[in-house]
Structure 1
Amino acid sequence: MLFNSYEFIFLFLPILFFGYFFLTSKRLIIASKVWLVLGSLFFYSWWNVAYLPIILSSMLINFAVGNSFSSTKKVSKKTLLSFGIVFNIALLGYFKYADFFIENFNGIFGFNVPLLHIALPLAISFFTFQQIAYLVDSYRGETQEYDFLNYALFVSFFPQLIAGPIVHHKEMMPQFASHWNKVKNYRNIALGLFIFSIGLFKKVVIADTFAVWATNGFDTASTLSLFEAWATSLSYTFQLYFDFSGYTDMAIGAALLFNIKLPINFNSPYKATNIQDFWRRWHITLSRFLRDYIYIPLGGNKVAALRNYFNLFSVFLVGGLWHGASWMFVIWGALHGGAIVLHRIWQQLGLKMNTLLAWFITFNFINITWVFFRAKEMEDALKVLGGMFGMGGVVLPNVLASKLSFLQNYGIEFGGFVENIQGDYFTPVWIFAAFILVLVFKNSMQKRESFTMNKKTALFTAFLLSFSVLSLTKVSEFLYFNF
């Protein structure tokens, strides 16, 4: 089920909300948790009920392993942890990477092993990482004892289930166990609707507008001129941001209705002035997982310089591959890994850079590397990158032809300057407006901190929600559903 759908907004969410607090008002605490778990599993299986046994078996096995650390003496804790991690990686590897490895195996050795054509279960990357973190923390003795109902709610809670944030057990499980969260909190309800409305507007109005130009540029157009290529890359850069941060806002807002506070996942990442700063702002919970459960166990920065560079690079390769079974994601991860290593060397040399120049370099690096992230094949990436560097020619708007006709002597043409991506004169206006939004205005989490319940915020919420709902003419999935 999609957040940006009539079924979710007008049926699922209200029914789950009122049913939950009706049960808590009758002090039926266990029943209220069962209600949330069943509702979340219904939300998850809306697309395909065949996914349900996968997440249920994953929850049961991980909970059993996590509880066994403190109860069993027949098997060592390290053996249990190894089993749990191997189980999770094997589950993820089979469903997400099996065909990818078979294709590469066939290509390298010349075999013809048939592909399995396995459908990727929704959210498997997210709930797998979440449960690996739980197992590691349980192994370290950092978890408390919780019953399976609380654990099932921790894993399946519908706001964060499909595309994150990747939550930590110590952030969530105490909240589900707390009796203070069983009573309706009208400030949380107002704040939740406020944040949810911002996220819905980001997705439906902004991200889906950029999606048209990005899709046409990457998937449809055979050639791209200079402005078309830049419009394509920037459209995807902003589509991805407003799509994923919009989902996260909706997740945080929906969770607040139930008095659950999810962690921040975005903090104005396009304001970053270096690549490390970017990864402290973008998909924060994924960065935290990679740091705590891969980078630090590899030795982190407490090793020799070359080993540290290797650790950094390896983490970003894993992060790239986590996003999907494609060499394009590996290339994207390698580029970011190389950039983070260069940044570390730059820091160690004590070098400085002008802030504006640092932002310009950082943003353009991110924008260019998103091309690899989005492209289905290398050919698509080279098409866009070639256009961005002028290899597809330069086409200026027709309205400039009379004044700049002399430029035709230098190979510059006049015509529809973004027609290959079905753009128009409003396309650069949208791109300029997006820059203003992400660089000048406060982000949704900053607005959350300064939120007050008054007529102004009520009208603002009502406007965003109404305008977004009226824009639900074409329901589209969130980009991170693919990962």
Structure 2
Amino acid sequence: MLFNTYVFIFAFWPITAIVYFLLNRFRLVFVAKCWMAASSLFFYSWWNPKYLPLILGSIAFNYTFGRILQTKKDWSVLRRRLVLTTAITGNVLLLAYYKYADFFLENLSSVTGHAFPLLKLILPLGISFFTFTQIAYLVDAYKGKVREYNIVNYILFVTFYPHLIAGPILHHSEMMPQFDRLRNKVWQWNNASQGIYLFCIGLFKKVVIADTFAVSANDGFANASHFVESWIASLSYTFQLYYDFSGYTDMAIGAALIFNIKLPQNFNSPYKARSIQDFWRRWHMTLSRFLRDYIYIPLGGNRRGEAIMLRNLVVTFLVGGLWHGAGWTFILWGALHGVGQVIHRMWTKLGIQMPRWLAWFITFMFINVTWVFFRADDMKQAFRLLKGMTGLEGIAIADLKLLAPTLLLIIIMMPIVFFASNSSQLSGTFRPSWKVAAAAGALFIVSLLYFNRISTFLYFNF
């Protein structure tokens, strides 16, 4: 189910909230959790019911191994590590089968010359997110950071629908204690109004701004070859992805706030970054945290010397690139960001300071160029667009007449992205008032006018 649909906004979301708080009102706390878990599973299976057994099987698998890790603390370190390794391997194999099997077969066919038949698997919705969430849970269980023996609580932790499909990637300790706080079981108007406010902002970002940029981005990546149209295509996708992902994040946080659940910040004005390191502290923050805690640090982090640390950075971002998609374009995108981190690290050690505007400009241009690989269907398309952006295929000023509306939208949105307060900052200063309600209402009504072109969120593909 999509957040940006009538059925979610006018039926599913309010019904789940009303029933949840009514059950808590009558002190049916356990039933309320069961209702929320069942509703989240319904939300997930709305897209394709045949994947419901998959997520339930994944939950049963990880819950079982989590219980073993929590209850068998007297086992030897080697034995517990074997259990953890087995559990993580099972998760990775499941993700690899659905996400990377055809990619592996395609490359195996290219290398061997034998045409291996493709499995043509449809990627189950949210598999990358609920897999990473549960891997984090297993590691935390191994370290003794979590204790969860209730299967309903665990199902709710994994499937709570505001974060299920595209994050944020949560730790058990961030969410489940909130469901047990007595004050969170009572309807709170301040949280509800703030949640609706954030949801309306996110909805507007998605259906009005991101989906408008999507038209130019899709057309440009398919056809652009000259300088002007290539740059407009790349910038259109850069801003489409920004507003699409930040819009989803706002809606997820807003939807959760209705239930008095505060999800962690996942997006903090990443295009304001003045270094690639700063960018990854702002973009998909919970994924960056996961890669740091469960890839970079286990590889040795910065504890084994400079050379090993630089290697770990590159490997971590290669994993991050591959996590986003099965394709050489994603791998190259991850590699470029890994190398960018290495260059930033070496530059920092030199102690040379550049003007802040120049640091921002270089960072933004690097991000914009690397998004080309992230978006392109293949390397050929990516290099065609990059060649056009260099002007090698001509300038084609005449294209400006056709592309003027998109160029105007880019010019309007740039100052907002680069200078305006983000949703998290607005939420921090939020105070209910008639003016705020009117503004949120206006955004909501305008957004409804764009519901004739419903589209999925970009991160649903990852």
Q: Give the TM-score of the pair, scaled to structure 2.
A: 0.97
Question: Equivalent residue for 1:124?
Answer: 127
Query: Does 2:342 match 1:363?
Result: no
Question: Equivalent residue for 1:317?
Answer: 318
Name the CA distance, whole Å, in 2 between partners of 1:69 and 1:286.
Answer: 24
Q: Which has the larger radius of gyration?
A: 1
Question: Equivalent residue for 2:396?
Answer: 395
Q: Is the 8 A contact 1:228 1:418 kept in 2?
A: no
Amino acid paired to 2:153:
N
Q: How does 1:451-466 map to 2 (within 5 A)?
A: 451-466=430-445
Between 1:328-337 and 1:463-472, the stretch displaced more is 463-472
Q: How does 1:5-84 map to 2 (within 5 A)?
A: 5-72=5-72, 76-84=79-87
2:400 partner SS:
coil
Q: How does 1:245-394 map to 2 (within 5 A)?
A: 245-394=246-395
Question: Equivalent residue for 1:153?
Answer: 156
C-alpha displacement of 1:427: 1.5
Q: Give the TM-score of the pair, scaled to structure 1.
A: 0.93
1:473 partner SS:
helix
Q: Give the alignment's Cα RMSD to 1 decimal.
A: 1.2
Q: How does 1:187-266 map to 2 (within 5 A)?
A: 187-219=190-222, 221=223, 223-266=224-267
Amino acid paired to 2:257:
L
Name the CA distance, whole Å, in 2 between partners of 1:176 and 1:67.
Answer: 20
Q: Is the 8 A contact 1:150 1:176 kept in 2?
A: no
C-alpha displacement of 1:381: 0.6
2:354 partner SS:
coil
Question: Equivalent residue for 1:408?
Answer: none
Name the CA distance, whole Å, in 2 between partners of 1:59 and 1:340.
Answer: 35
Q: Is the 8 A contact 1:96 1:120 kept in 2?
A: yes
Name the CA distance, whole Å, in 2 between partners of 1:140 and 1:116.
Answer: 38
Name the CA distance, whole Å, in 1 between partners of 2:71 and 2:437.
Answer: 51
Are the structure 2 counterparts of residues 363 and 354 from structure 1 closer, same or farther at C-alpha, using a change threshold of 3 Å?
Answer: same
Question: Equivalent residue for 1:405?
Answer: none
Amino acid paired to 1:156:
T
Q: Is the 8 A contact 1:191 1:448 kept in 2?
A: yes
Name the CA distance, whole Å, in 1 between partners of 2:436 and 2:304.
Answer: 50
C-alpha displacement of 1:383: 1.6
| Matched residue count | 459
Give structure 1 stretches of 5+ with no counterpart: 397-414
Name the CA distance, whole Å, in 2 between partners of 1:385 and 1:88.
Answer: 37
C-alpha displacement of 1:452: 0.2
C-alpha displacement of 1:418: 5.9
C-alpha displacement of 1:224: 2.4
Question: Equivalent residue for 1:412?
Answer: none
2:122 partner SS:
coil
Name the CA distance, whole Å, in 2 between partners of 1:458 and 1:285.
Answer: 30
Residue deviations 1:379-425 (CA, integer Å, cap 9, x gap): 111121111111221122xxxxxxxxxxxxxxxxxx34264xxx3x2
Name the CA distance, whole Å, in 2 between partners of 1:249 and 1:358.
Answer: 28
Residue deviations 1:300-328 (CA, integer Å, cap 9, x gap): 11111111110000000000000010000
Name the CA distance, whole Å, in 2 between partners of 1:263 and 1:377.
Answer: 34
Name the CA distance, whole Å, in 2 between partners of 1:100 and 1:67.
Answer: 34
Question: Equivalent residue for 1:437?
Answer: 416
1:297 partner SS:
coil
